[in-house]
Amino acid sequence: MTIIVTGVAGFIGMHVAERLLARGEQVVGVDVFNDYYDPALKDARAARLAAHAGFRMVRMDVADAEAFAALVRETGAKRIVHLAAQAGVRYSLDNPFAYERANLAGHLSVLEAARHAEGFEHLVYASSSSVYGDRPGAGEGFTEDDAAAEPVSLYAATKRAGELMSFSYAKLYGLSQTGLRFFTVYGPWGRPDMAYFSFTRKILAGEPIEVYGEGKMARDFTYVDDIVDGIVSALDRPPERGVNRILNIGDSRPVGLMDMIATLEGALGRKAEKIFRPMQPGDVTTTYADVSKLTALTGYSPKVPIEQGLPRFVEWYRGFYGA
């Protein structure tokens, strides 16, 4: 079948498209190739996908509602994996309108196209653990039933708004959807704005790294292959018509920031010079996914701990950048 993947030149988008292509699907990838980070990395991901006979790239802003709806009609796609978004908490402090267009107008554009598509089956879209706000670690994972009413960044607010828009489209038009709340995805071909990526670059260059939150933060680092397992498994199991299903997707093993840095130092064979900084606006202290609902639905079980995943990233980084 033909599946549309938005944000296909992005980190997770490329990996999802590769998995779908490997099992014989036809994939139409959509991406605007913005310059939020180095477009050369996006171009390299797109070139990797272009080697597959079943792949077609469309350069398009998903917020262009008429163009995206026309693409859905033309391809006859009955399933969409919507990953296109403006990412990054800190960037939203200085560029709020980028989030309005990509995360609000873009999400609405996809909803409209899907609800008008003949025989449409399932929309899977990316949400974020950031919707939970800044919660103290209590030894238990965040559950989908927990309140998500106090976002501490505009990015988080737009992702929660996307979920609410999807609830309305499910009820109004019978649109079957799954919103996946991602928890700190990392791995080869990752995003340069993520801490593990920028730390790698700086450590190899002999530059100090800035450690925010005085190093006391923790994240539920989730290896990209595990994330793709969950996305594709959820895509294959649409909910009934009129349901917008929200699911956490993470590793369920939060890792302290200092432990992550120590693991990265070991993989690089170098020590980092650390400068400790206070928490930045919009950041949260801890993320911790309870994935029991996704596991019950799909058998999802993360396999790659950070002690294995970070060395894999470092190996890719050295090869890609010649470092």
Whole-number Å distance between alpha carbons of 63 and 244: 21
Of these residues, 91, 125, 132, 155, which one is catalytic?
A: 155
Residue at 60: amino acid letter: M
Whole-number Å distance between alpha carbons of 187 and 178: 24
3-state SS of the chain? Answer: CEEEEECCCCHHHHHHHHHHHHCCCEEEEEECCCCCCCHHHHHHHHHHHHCCCCEEEEECCCCCHHHHHHHHHHHCCCEEEECCCCCCCCHHHHCHHHHHHHHHHHHHHHHHHHHHCCCCCEEEEEEEHHHHCCCCCCCCCECCCCCCCCCCCHHHHHHHHHHHHHHHHHHHHCCCEEEEEECCEECCCCCCCCHHHHHHHHHHHCCCEEEHHHHCCEECCEEHHHHHHHHHHHHCCCCCCCCEEEEEECCCCCEEHHHHHHHHHHHHCCCCCEEECCCCCCCCCECCECCHHHHHHHCCCCCCCHHHHHHHHHHHHHHHHCC
Q: Is 155 a catalytic residue?
A: yes
Whole-number Å distance between alpha carbons of 166 and 45: 29
Candidates 26, 37, 30; CA nearest to 69 is: 30
- b/e 273-307 (16+ beta carbons within 10 angstroms → b): eeeeeeeeebbbebbbbbbebbbebbebebebebe
Q: Active-site positions? A: 155
